[in-house]
C-alpha cells in the first residue's frame, strides 16, 4: 500500500544511507555503509561555511571487515564532507570496535567505546545498522561461497541457540508460522492461540 497523499509541502532535506555487503577473496566479509545529507537551499553555518543546494553537508563512509562469526577484524572510516573541522577526530576511536561481534551486544559495544562524546552520532547510527546488513549478507553469502555444502540461505542455529533474528519482529515471532516453517525446533505455540485454532475437521494449512 502506498503512503496516503500528503499535505502541500516543501522538500528541504535528504539523507541517503546505503549499506553494501561484500565477500572478499580471502574469505572475510566487508560491510560498508555511507550516509549523505543534502539540503534544497543554501545551508549556512556561521563561521563554518555555506553549502549550496545538493552539496553534501555530511558524507561519511564506514567499512567493517568481519569473519564468519561476525567478529570485527578491521574497521575504517572516511569523512569526506563534514560541517565542522573537529568532526574528523571521531575517526580514530572507531578502532576500539575491533574484536567486537556484530551480534548480541553490538549496540552495547558501540555505546561503550563510542558513546556520548567519545565518538560521532552519525558514525554510531551507521554502525548500529551495519549488523543487520551483515546478517543479510553473510548467511546467504556462505551458501554461494560453498554451494556444495548447503543451499539454505537462512541463518543457521548455533547449537541449541536460535538465530539472532528470531523473536525480534512480528514475522519472526517464536509463536508464528514463519518460525514454524523454517525453524520448527524453536517454534513455541502460544497457549492462547491454541484456543482459536480451527476444529480438527476444519480447514487445514
pLDDT of residue 56: 98
Domains of the chain, each with CATH number or no CATH? 13-142 (3.30.390), 156-196 (no CATH)
pLDDT of residue 25: 94
* Cβ(174)–Cβ(167) below 8 Å: yes
Q: For residues 142 and 27, what is the distance between their CA atoms, to the nearest angstrom?
A: 10
**Mean pLDDT, the chain, whole residue set:** 89
For residue range 33-63, what is the model confidence (pLDDT) as tens digits? 999 999 999 999 999 999 999 999 999 999 9
* Cβ(102)–Cβ(96) below 8 Å: no
- Please return the burial class of 163, using the count of CB atoms within 10 Å of its CB with bins 0-12, 13-18 and 19+: buried
With cell 560498508, the residue in question is: 32
Average pLDDT over residues 108-114: 97
> pTM of the full predicted structure?
0.79
Amino acid at each position: 500500500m502506498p503512503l496516503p497523499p500528503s499535505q502541500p509541502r516543501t522538500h528541504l532535506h535528504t539523507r541517503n544511507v546505503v549499506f553494501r555487503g561484500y565477500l572478499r577473496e580471502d574469505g572475510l566479509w566487508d560491510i560498508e555503509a555511507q550516509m549523505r545529507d543534502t539540503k534544497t537551499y543554501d545551508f549556512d553555518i556561521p563561521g563554518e561555511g555555506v553549502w549550496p543546494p545538493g552539496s553534501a553537508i555530511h558524507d561519511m563512509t564506514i567499512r567493517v571487515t568481519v569473519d564468519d562469526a561476525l567478529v570485527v577484524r578491521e574497521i575504517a572510516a572516511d569523512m569526506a564532507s563534514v560541517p565542522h573541522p573537529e568532526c574528523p577526530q571521531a575517526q580514530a576511536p572507531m578502532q576500539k570496535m575491533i574484536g567486537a561481534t556484530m551480534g548480541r551486544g553490538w549496540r552495547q559495544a558501540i555505546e561503550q567505546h563510542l558513546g556520548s562524546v567519545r565518538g560521532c552520532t552519525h558514525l554510531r547510527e551507521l554502525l548500529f545498522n551495519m549488523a543487520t546488513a551483515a546478517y543479510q549478507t553473510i548467511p546467504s553469502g556462505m551458501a554461494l561461497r560453498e554451494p556444495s555444502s548447503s543451499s539454505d540461505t537462512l541463518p543457521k542455529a548455533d547449537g541449541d541457540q536460535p538465530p539472532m533474528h528470531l523473536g525480534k519482529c512480528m514475522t519472526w515471532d517464536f509463536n508464528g508460522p514463519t518460525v514454524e516453517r523454517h525453524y520448527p525446533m524453536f517454534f513455541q505455540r502460544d497457549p492462547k492461540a491454541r484456543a482459536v485454532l480451527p476444529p480438527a475437521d476444519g480447514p487445514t494449512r
